[in-house]
Structure 1
Amino acid sequence: MNAERASCQRIGRLTPLADVLAAIARIEPVAPREVAPAAAAACVLAADVNAPESRPAAPLALRDGWAVDADATRDAGPYAPLTLQPPPQRVDAFAALPSGTDAVAPLDAASALGGMMQFMTPAAPGEAVLPSGGDIEANAVLYREGARLRASDVAVLSAAGFAAVGIRQPSILIVNTRRDDALLGPAATMLARAVTAAGATCDITNDLDAGLDRNHTDAIIVIGGTGEGRNDRSVMTLSRVGTVACHGIGLAPGDTAAFGMANGKPVLLMPGRIDAVLACWLVLGRALLDRLSGARDIEIVSKATLARKVTSSIGIAEVIPLRRAGEQVEPLASGYLSLQSLARADGWMLVPAECEGYPAGAEIEMRPLP
């Protein structure tokens, strides 16, 4: 029995969450590379994006209509139709404005009479015109380094004529230690989708030894085998090929998680439960990915009022799933987060390690689930 116990990996103490996050904060971002804007969605910019020139270079029509000199139409009215000489030119939306014109009157502002176009409504200077530089001013900073590009940002960069942008896109390897496990499989898939949505590339393997030895990846996330069970070997495997900075973290769920390095790459080991994988990703994995990508995102949080109290243990940071209940939010579970509680959750909150919880009616910060 003693020999069997000695052969199992052991957790000596729980490392404070703040210490683990501090270690993650010391990791260097990955090297930048350039990609076309269409390939940069959800990725993090490696440098500021500045407009090289004004767009448009010359005024454009903002609608289909009549290109006119606004001053020449100022006396037009329904009871005093005005015939312009020379006749106005019809333009399509986003066509260049003809020389000598500064406005685009709507098509129904004029009517044909005897082969002549008569205006019954005056146009204002600049009406329905996109001026030179109206879309983008030369040298304007469009996006800052560390910004994560949204789909709308990709559209702006493409429309503005950028052929490439510099990004940092980490490559993450997920190791699912038990391929046929009914819970680890869905957990690995969930994690892979969250990693991809956060702007990284992702691969999944079932071979821990080969995964820790892989060179063409920037970080490794291991799912399963972090506990003290007879078949738990993930932490011991890491200790053979790399270093284990901590085994046991003050986070619930996820207290058997570990963190270390292998071949110069950070390795985050998560317990093999969906709730623990989710909690570790929300608090540790996302912090690791943000550091590797150089992200400077403003965290999305919303203020909410607790419908009932939340209790927690000092020294343990805790992830609590929340469900909206009218104008308040209801805490659904703590410690072990059941599948049903996760199914009902609209978001989550983090109870800091130094806090014993919150009373009913307290205002807290609610964060979105991946």
Structure 2
Amino acid sequence: MEVRMLPEPHTVESYRRSVLGLVTALPAETVGLAEGLGRTTAEAVTAAFAVPRFDNAAMDGYAVRAADLEGASPESPAVLVRLEPSRAGSPQPRPLRTGEARPVMTGAPLPPGADLVVPVERTTSGRFDDGATVALWRDAKPHIRNRGEDIAEGAPIVRRGVVLGPRDLGLLAATGHTVVRVHRAPRVALVVTGDELFSDAGPRAGIPDSNSVYLRAAVTALGGDVVSVQLVRDDEDALRRVLDSAARKADLIVSTGGVGPGTHDLAGRLAAASPDGTLARVAMRPGRPQAHGRWRGTPWLALPGTPAAAFVSFEAFVRPVLARLAGALTGGEPASETVSVGWPGRAGAVRFVPLAVEADADAIAVHPLGSPDHASHSLSAMFRAPLIAMVGAETANVETGQLVPVFEPA
């Protein structure tokens, strides 16, 4: 099987567009709110209930008619007939008649006809009594929460394509929803290749498999469902069998290793020979060799095997593919940070550089973690850094005080 690598390198942006072309949003399903965390809304949601749902007391006091307190003062309070109290969760009380006051607790429904809540502190005793009457005067504020003053019934509350967080779910519950329409979580099969790798704990020759551990955790953190993890030797028949199995159960296959020009680099060749397949060089450091395609109809992203390169490749290409599968409308735009310390470099490729963020009483310092010239091998820096800089291909040296695009890794 002979597959030629494309002679001209992709840019990061063009290769990202290429892999995104492999996928569309997964079908929608209805789930309970408890299952919605991290899922992406398939449709816009409006409020089923108003918030507040009914006029209610904003504090403990007495619901009264303002006309009954005309001229009342601390020196000459109005004396009204005291009714049974109403608490939060009580049914709607009967309408208030002239000369009546109903004790209400915070959140209690306001009786029809009442247009003021007098705080209990504005009574002659300053507390709730059991007497037949109460002497009180009005306060400067009405202390009423009106129906719908926060959220009107039917008002938009969550847009389509939103990744649901705890506050979104709380808002849905508060506005009368118990279920929500979301896109199905992506099912991902992970395939890690290489004769040199081992996954058991005992001491032995070779390199420990960290890629599958990282990828499983990263996919899960982003809301994906890892359906299988396979470590495969550099054997084409074995790799084909694993890919066949992965394609039957997954929406996306992600592999690491085997995308270079070597005789044992099988994954890139198989991916490139598949429908929509490409074996490419991408103008990025680390992560230059990349491949993608479809294996038995299932989209497949083949990443380099070096752990630091697999890490940045996941962030650059797999993360936006997962977002599209999950129904997100955008893949998210990078933020920017001003670096406190510059560093030299070569233009021509996007460089992914781990950054440290240090704060003291006076300022926040952002500077490279480890050596920017050895990012492709600086596994410890890549995995420890809170931010990763994406230095543009047109930029050589990064100057002190320069604004650079950054992202927070999964």
TM-score (norm 1): 0.84
287-296 vs 300-309, which moves further: 300-309
Q: Of 117, 126, 138, which residue of structure 1 is paired with 2:134? A: 117
Residue aligned with 1:364, SS: strand
Decide which of 93, 109, 113 is 1:96's aligned counterpart.
Answer: 109
Deviation sequence 1:192-235 (CA, Å, 0-9, x none): 23222323222332165345322332111112333345654322
Question: Which residue does the alignment assign to 1:360?
Answer: 400
Q: Deviations over 1:68-114 (max 9, x none)?
A: 33454464443333322444222233222112223333333322497
Q: Is the 8 A contact 1:184 1:273 kept in 2?
A: no
Contact 2:46 2:157 in 1 (8 A): yes
Deviates more, 1:67-76 or 1:94-103: 67-76
Alignment of 1:272-283 (within 5 A): 272-283=305-316
Q: 1:179 to 1:55 in 2, by over 3 A?
A: farther
- Pick one of 270, 274, 282 that aligns with 1:249: 282
Q: 1:152: Cα distance to partner?
A: 0.7
Q: 1:4 maps to which residue?
A: none
Alignment of 1:302-317 (within 5 A): 302-317=335-350
Structure 1 residues 39-48 or 55-64, which shifts more? 55-64
Q: C-alpha distance in 2, partners of 1:75/1:189?
A: 75
- What does residue 40 of structure 2 align with? 44
1:142 equivalent in structure 2: 157
- In the alignment, is residue 158 of structure 1 matched against residue 173 of structure 2? yes
RMSD: 3.0
Residue 90 (structure 2) aligns with: none
- Give 1:284 deviation, angstroms: 0.9
Specify the SS of the correspondent of 2:248. coil
- Deviation, 1:350, is 0.8
Kindly state the Cα deviation for residue 47 of structure 1 after the two structures are TM-superposed.
1.3
Counterpart AA for 1:15 = H
Aligned mate of 2:292, from 259, 263, 276: 259
Match status 1:81 vs 2:96? no
What one-letter code is carried by the residue in structure 1 that aligns with 2:139? P
Q: What letter matches 2:394 in structure 1? A: E
Instruction: Name which of structure 1's ranges 288-297 and 226-235 shifts more when overlaid on structure 2.
Output: 226-235
- Amino acid aligned to 2:409: L
How far apart are 1:44 and its partner, in Å? 1.3
In structure 1, what is the Cα distance between the partners aligned to 2:219 and 2:176?
29
Q: Secondary structure at the match of 1:321?
A: strand
SS in 2 for 1:88: strand
Farther off after superposition, 313-322 or 140-149: 313-322
Residues 1:74 and 1:317: Cα distance change in structure 2 (over 3 Å): farther
CA separation in 2, counterparts of 1:258 and 1:92? Answer: 65
Of residues 354, 368, 390 in structure 2, which corresponds to 1:331? 368
Aligned partner of 1:153: which letter?
Answer: D
74-83 or 314-323: bigger deviation: 74-83
Structure 2 contact 40–162 (Cα < 8 Å) conserved: yes
Q: Cα deviation per residue 1:259-282 (whole Å; 9 max; x = unaligned)?
A: 222222221112233322221121
Look up the match of 1:195: 219
Change in Cα spacing, 1:84 to 1:359, as seen in structure 2 (3 Å) is: same
Q: Which residue of 2 aligns with 1:215?
A: 248
Range 215-224 or range 12-21, more displaced: 12-21
Please report how far the alpha carbon of residue 119 of structure 1 lies from its aligned counterpart in structure 2 after TM superposition.
2.0
Q: 1:115 to 1:212 in 2, by over 3 A?
A: same
Looking at structure 2, the residues matched to 249 and 184 of structure 1 have their Cα atoms a distance apart, in angstroms, of: 27
Match of 1:31 in 2: 27
Q: Which residue number corresponds to residue 3 of structure 1?
A: none
Q: What is the CA-CA distance between 1:121 and the residue it aligns to?
A: 5.1
Measure how far apart 1:41 and its partner are.
Answer: 1.1
| Pair 1:174 & 2:190 matched | yes
Normalising by structure 2, report the TM-score. 0.77
Q: Equivalents in 2 of 1:95, 1:134: separation in Å?
A: 16
Report if aligned partners of 2:274, 2:295 keep a CA contact under 8 Å in 1.
yes
CA distance in 2 between counterparts of 1:114 and 1:162 reads 42
Where structure 2 has 5 or more consecutive residues not aligned to the other structure, the ranges are: 82-98, 202-206, 233-238
Aligned to 2:12: 17
Aligned equivalents of 1:211, 1:158: Cα separation in 2: 43
Q: Unaligned 5+ residue runs, structure 1?
A: 1-6
**What is the distance in 2 between the residues matched to 1:361 and 1:123?**
53
Aligned amino acid, residue 306 of structure 2: R
* Structure 2 residue matching 1:358: 3-state secondary structure: coil
Task: Specify the alignment match of 2:91 in structure 1.
Answer: none
Q: Distance in 2 between matches of 1:9 and 1:313?
A: 30
Contact 1:73 1:123 in 2 (8 A): no
Which range is displaced more, 178-187 or 54-63? Answer: 178-187
Percent of matched pairs sharing the same residue: 26
2:387 maps to 347
* Structure 1 residues 339 and 239: CA distance shift in structure 2, 3 A: closer
Q: Which amino acid aligns with 2:145?
A: L
Distance 1:163 1:179 in 2: 46
Range with bigger deviation, 40-49 or 244-253: 244-253
Query: Relative to structure 1, is the Cα distance of residues 215 and 114 closer, same or farther in structure 2, using a 3 angstrom cutoff?
Result: closer
CA separation of 1:181 and 1:312: change in aligned 2, threshold 3 A: farther
The SS at the match of 1:272 is coil
Q: SS at the partner of 1:145?
A: coil
CA distance 1:210–1:34, shift in 2 (3 Å): farther
